[in-house]
């Protein structure tokens, strides 16, 4: 696709967390959002991060986004416990509202409720479309975009969404480019002060490392001891599998099954 220069696209990035080591890194979905944005508008892409400017680990993780070829990242300086949505809405209301806002589906740290895209869309009066894999085409004059949405089981759905829109980018989108060290060091992080409100409700929560969820037990509601014994010892039977012989009969039987399951 040729680059579109009339379009304004903003990606919202967050700082990810490595699942094993817990070290700050670029978030996987946000990096895909940046990749998609770079594909659509090249270096006109604007990138915003809402968070604390004094957090050294976070700012060094932000550099790995800059290493993808961005020239600058706008950092809205918020305290640790602040609600990022309020700051972002304020920012978009004070400047011009972009055509497309791209985010990841959910953050890799904190509450990670996945509400950011929906709240921004509601408060800025934009359309929201969830877990997209690609943006196929954008018509700025007719004010709509054709978007490929990721569905379960590797399926894709094409939807036509009117602009302006907020889209959350799924892991099914194309992989982000590697981050290069030189551009990462050269890129600018411009801190802006921002209005902030504390997220009071969140202060009352207790957070602990995730416990392994108990495996669901097979509950046997047997009335007699013999039934319980059978349920505990019996091997799971195939459930009366049908056996067919002969080539045409077999092919027909398999065809019927595929048709019944809706696979054809």
Partner 1 sequence: MSELFRRDPRAQWIARNRLHPLHQAIAAGPVYGPSGLLRKNVHGLGFIGPNGLKRIDRSGNSSGDASGRRGSGPAQAAVVLPLHQVSKPDFTIVVALDLVSGRLNGHDKDTLGLAQQLANRNGANGVVIAVAFGELKDDSLDHAGVDRLIHLSGNQYYDYDPEQRSRDLSVIVKQFNPQHILLPDSINGGGDLGRRLAAKLKLRPACGVWKLDHDSIVCRGSAGKTDITRALSRLLLVMEECSEPVSETRHEQLALTVESNKVKSLIVDHGNVEVDPNAIPLGEAGFILSGGNGIADWPGFHQAATTLGATEGASRVAVDDGFMPRTRQVGATGSWVTAQVYIAVGISGAIQHMQGIGQCDKVVAINTDEGCDMVKRADLSAIGDSSEILASLVDLVLQHKAGENKDVA
Footprint (CB under 8 A) of partner 1, residues 18-77: 19, 22
Q: Total binding residues for partner 1 by CB under 8 A?
A: 77
In the complex, the smallest distance separating the C-beta of residue 235 from partner 1, rounded to whole angstroms, is 10
Q: Which of 102, 107, 90, 117 is nearest to 193 (CA)?
A: 90
For residues 46 and 131, which CB has a smaller minimum distance to partner 1 in the complex? 131
139 lies in the binding site for partner 1 (CB under 8 A): no
Residues 218-237 that bind partner 1 (CB under 8 A): 219, 221, 223, 226-227, 229-230
Instruction: Please pick, from the candidates 71, 162, 174, 188, the single residue that binds partner 1 as defined by CB under 8 A.
Output: 162
Q: Which of 166, 165, 171 is nearest to 150 (CA)?
A: 171
40, 158 Cβ separation under 8 angstroms = no
Site map (CB under 8 A) of partner 1, residues 165-204, x = contact = ------------------------------------x--x
For residues 121 and 135, which CB has a smaller minimum distance to partner 1 in the complex? 121
Residue 91's φ and ψ, nearest 5 degrees, are -60, -45
115 lies in the binding site for partner 1 (CB under 8 A): yes
The C-alpha atoms of residue 66 and residue 171 are separated, in whole angstroms, by 20
Residues 79-108 that bind partner 1 (CB under 8 A): 106-108
Instruction: Please pick, from the candidates 23, 156, 186, 228, the single residue that binds partner 1 as defined by CB under 8 A.
Output: 156
Instruction: Please pick, from the candidates 21, 94, 96, 239, the single residue that binds partner 1 as defined by CB under 8 A.
Output: 239
Quick one: DSSP state of residue 198? Answer: B
Question: Each residue of 175-196: b (16+ CB within 10 Å) or e?
Answer: ebeebeeeebeebebeeeebeb
3-class DSSP string for 48-74 = EEEECCCCHHHHHHHHHHHCCCCCEEE
């Amino acid at each position: 696709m040729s680059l579109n220069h009339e379009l304004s696209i903003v990606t919202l990035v967050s700082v990810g967390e490595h699942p094993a080591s817990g070290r700050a890194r670029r978030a996987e979905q946000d990096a895909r959002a940046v990749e998609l944005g770079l594909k659509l508008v090249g270096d006109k892409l604007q990138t915003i991060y809402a968070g604390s400017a004094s957090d050294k680990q976070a700012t060094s993780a932000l550099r790995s986004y800059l290493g993808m070829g961005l020239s600058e990242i706008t950092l809205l300086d918020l305290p640790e416990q602040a609600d990022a949505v309020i700051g972002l809405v304020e920012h978009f209301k004070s400047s011009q509202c972009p055509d497309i806002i791209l985010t990841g589906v959910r953050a890799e740290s904190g509450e990670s409720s996945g509400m950011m895209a929906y709240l921004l869309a509601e408060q800025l009066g934009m359309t929201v479309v969830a877990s997209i894999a690609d943006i196929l085409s954008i018509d700025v004059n007719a004010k709509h975009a054709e978007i490929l949405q990721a569905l379960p089981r590797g399926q894709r759905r094409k939807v036509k969404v009117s602009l302006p829109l907020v889209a959350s980018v799924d892991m099914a989108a194309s992989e982000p480019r590697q981050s290069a060290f030189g551009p990462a060091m050269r890129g600018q992080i411009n801190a802006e002060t921002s209005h902030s409100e504390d997220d009071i409700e969140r202060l009352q929560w207790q957070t602990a490392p995730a416990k392994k969820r108990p495996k669901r037990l097979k509950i046997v509601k047997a009335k007699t001891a013999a039934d319980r014994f059978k349920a505990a010892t019996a091997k799971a039977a195939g459930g009366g599998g049908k056996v067919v012989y002969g080539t045409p009969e077999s092919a027909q039987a398999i065809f019927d099954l595929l048709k019944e399951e809706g696979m054809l």
